[in-house]
Structures are given as C-alpha cells and as structure tokens.
Amino acid sequence: MANPASLLPASRSAVVTKTAVEVAPDRDTASTRLIYAYLGSATLWLLVGTLVGAYLGLKFATPDIDHVPWLSYGRLRPVHTNTVFWGWASLAMIALTLYVVPKTSRRRLHSLPLAWVSLGLINAAVLVGDLLLMSGINNGGQEYREYIWPVQGTFALGVILVTYNMIRTIAGRAIEEIYISNWYIMGGFLWTVALMVIAYVPVYQQTGISETVIQGFYMHMGVGMWFTPMVLGLTYYFLPKLLNKPIYSYSLGVLAFWTQMVFYSMIGAHHFIFAPTPWWLQTVAIIFSVGMIVTLAAGTGNFLMTMKGSFRTVARSYSLPFILVGVIAYFLFSLQGTFEAFRSLNRVWHFTNFTVAHSHLTMYGFVVFLIWGGIYGLLPRLTGREPSHFLAGVHFWFAFVGVAIYTIALMIGGTMQGMSWMAGDAFIDSVTMMAPFWLWRALGGGLMFLSHLIFAYNLWCMRPVRHESRQPLAAEAAA
C-alpha cells in the first residue's frame, strides 16, 4: 500500500490558493475616493460599535467590572446597536451602492459633492447620537430609535440626499431597463425614508399600545426593508460579476422582490405576540411571516442556482465565501424568524437570549457577511491593491467561528431560560443557569471583534493610490 505522504508534494499549501482580483479597466479616481471614504467611516464605526458590544459581553460575565454611569448597560447597549446599524452597516451598504447603481445604469453618479454631504451628515448623526446616549439623553426605551429626533432627522436627511442622488442617476441611465439590483436598492432607500417619518411623528403615538404597535412596525421594517433589500440588491450585482456568469433567473429575482415588499411590511407585530395588541393583528403578522418562505425560496434558490457548477471558483476566491455564507444565512435564519413567530415557539423563546442570537445570525451572519463579500470583491478592482489572502481568510474564519460560538451558546441557554420561566422557577435560577452561556457569548464576541481589527487592516491595504490619474467611465466617454 502506498504511503499517503508520498502522494502529496512536500510543498503543497495547507490552504487553497486564492485567485487575484482583476483590476477594473475604467477606474474613476474621484468616485473611488468617495467610496473609500464611506467604507473607511463605516469601518471606524464597526470598530467602535463592536468594541462596545464586546465590553457589554464582558459585563454579563463580570457584572461588577465598573460602576461608571456612562458605561452602564442601559446606555451602552443602544450605543452598540445604533452604531453598528447606522454607522457601520448603513454607510458600508451606501458605499457599495455608489458603485453599483452608476455601473448598472451606465452613467456617472449624478452628484459627487452631494454624496460627500450625505457622508458628513450621517457621520455627524452617529457621533452626536452616541455622545447623547452615553450622557443619558435618548428617545426613551424604543429599540433602534433611541436617538432623539434632531439626530435621527440629520441621519434621515443624509439618506434622503443619497436617495435623490440615486434616483437621478437611475433616471438618466443609458439603457432602457432597470437592472434588478436597482429595484432592491431603490426599494430599500424609499421604504427607509418613509419609515423614518412614520417612526418619529408623535401624533399617533400618544398611548403605550399605539407606540408599541409602531415600534414593532419600525424595528422589523428597519431590518427587512433597509438592510435586507440593500444587501440583496448588491448581491444581485456582485455574485454574477465575481462568477463571470449571468444571474440564474431574472424572474425569480422580481418574484422575491415583490413578495418581500408585500409580506415583510406586515410582520412587525410578531414581536408582540401575547402583548395587549389586537389579536387579529398578531395573527396577520404570523400569516405574513409564513408567506416570507416564498421570498426566501425564490431569492436563495436564485443565488444558489447561479453558483451551481462554480463552487471551485467560490473556493478559490476570498470574497465569494463571504457571499456564500451570507446567502445560506439569509435563508436559514430568516426561516428561523418565521418559526419564532408561531405562538407555540414564541412562548418559549421571546424575551430570552434566543432572540439576541437570532438578531446576530441575521444582521451579522446574513447582512454583514454579504457586505464584506461585496467590499472584498469591489475595492481591489477599484484601487489595484489587494489584501493579504491569508489575512482575508483569518478574517473570515474568526468572524464565522466567533458568531457561531456566540449564537449557539445563546440559543441553547435561551431555550433553557424560556423553559425555566414557563415552569415557574424563580427568576434568579434562570440568571444563574445562563452564567456559563454568557461566558461563551463573551468568547465568541471577542473573536468577532478580533476579526474586525483584521478587516480594518485589510481595508487599509486596499486604500486608493494617491498619484493615480483620473480615468473617465467608458460609458460617459461614449456619451
């Protein structure tokens, strides 16, 4: 029998050699600098927001770690969520749309100066909002809308200006059809502008019940009609681009888009099952949550069928593995949300740490992994600079293993927590029971933060070259 060692060359690499990304032939220096400024700001907020999150994880394991008011859990928790939502994920998504929308419209962005103004407004909103939250000045206990209205209004103004910029860009497109990516991206922008208005107008939120109903609508729509359509729209561009093949089905993409718009807008009330909100409203939310299975099957099936036969290309890329994880997470953990809407399971899991795990699986495993896939797929093409393939891999595995440890611990602990409450055990018993799971949560969160430091370094390695001369887009030159 042959010695197995003799079958492998001694110089064989322990990892699959990654393929270098081709540099785009029509790089535009001004646009690249704008996109990199958005991504640089986003990454700074990623580090700030997740450093706060990692510290909060430590507080679960060591509650007496500090007694400083502005470091209290009640103040830092909204700093963590708002920073990663509005500072990191939002700016990173907008950065990628600043490339995708003009590219698929075959024209230059309508206004670069306006995009710089938007960047300044959004950064200012997150900075001031976080300082106010740490000072104890907030909009009350309303998740993801803790910023007071002048701050959130500044953020909304930034988004409105980007929306206008995108609309003008698409309206002036050099092709007849609107590419499927831009359906999703514009859907996300327009829904979010409406959502901000609905969430902050006080006239119909005079009672606790009405405020709760609006809160359920707002917090779920923030995820489902801002982050979800934006990253799906970006994936409809980056996945076929990186695979060098067309999307499997344009029709499936359109089906997923419209079912997302119809079903998702009515499911926010499933966050308040058994609450003193109308029973019929809760039932409608459950039914529409089940309807989301159509959206998930159409969207995920479309992406996976596009990848079919190209998994060797995925393995040799350092950006496509992020997209593959994001696509699978989109299906699995959105489906998990559908199951959580059922009254029988909601009784066990809601208000427990299981919900914390679910939010991280969707926002991190789905949204953030797709964002990273887009960044690694785009920036080297624009700047001509690649990150270390080894460090891109370390980033991927630290983030993947970290979020797995974090969420598996909280799903197991959260289920036990819910069962304890249903059995009528003393509340303190569930707190004691959760202690080892919170330790695993801190460990997983630490790994995730380390991966963010590596990503920040990789982003620096992909920075634009200063002396590069401006090269106009081919489409604009043709026009």
Which SS3 state, helix, strand or coil, does residue 62 take? coil
Q: List C-alpha distances in Å: 342 to 237, 281, 299, 373, 374.
A: 34, 14, 23, 33, 34
pLDDT at 9: 46
29-462 — its CATH code? 1.20.210.10
d(CA 444, CA 405): 5
Nearest-angstrom CA–CA distance, 413 and 419:
10
What residues contact 134, with CB distance under 8 A and at least 6 apart? 70, 75, 76, 79
Calculate the alpha carbon distances from 291 to 48, 263, 409, 455 in Å: 37, 6, 29, 36
CA distance 280 to 286: 10
CA nearest neighbour of 468 among 16, 30, 22: 30
pLDDT value of position 369: 98
Query: Rounded to an integer, what distance in angstroms lies between the CA atom of residue 220 and that of residue 227?
Result: 10
Give yes or no for a contact between 45 and 88, defined as CB atoms under 8 angstroms apart: yes
Helix (H) or strand (E) holding 391: helix 389-422
246: left (phi over 0), alpha (psi -120 to 50) or beta: beta
Closest CA to 450 of 50, 33, 8, 145: 50
Contact yes or no for 10/63 (Cβ under 8 A): no
Residue 10: its pLDDT value, please? 46
Distance CA 47, CA 456 (A): 8
Instruction: Count the residues in the chain.
Output: 479
pLDDT by residue (tens digit) across 297-333? 999 999 999 999 999 999 999 999 999 999 999 999 9
Question: What pLDDT is attached to residue 12?
Answer: 47
Please enumerate in sequence order all residues whose Cβ is within 8 A of that of 382, keeping only pairs 6 or more positions apart, or say none.
Answer: 24, 27, 32, 35, 36, 99, 464
- What is this structure's pTM? 0.91
Residue labelled with tokens 């959206």: 295
Give me the pLDDT at residue 33, please: 95
pLDDT of amino acid 20: 65
User: Domain ranges in the chain?
Assistant: 29-462
User: What is the identity of the amino acid at 221?
Assistant: M
pLDDT at 276: 84
Q: How far apart are CA 335 and CA 329, in angstroms?
A: 9
Q: CB–CB of 167/193 below 8 Å?
A: no
CA 286 to chain CA mean position, Å: 24
CB 392 within 8 A of CB 318: yes
What are the residue ranges in the chain where pLDDT is below 50? 1-12, 14, 469-479
Per-residue confidence (pLDDT) for residue 25, from 0 to 100: 58
pLDDT of residue 41: 98
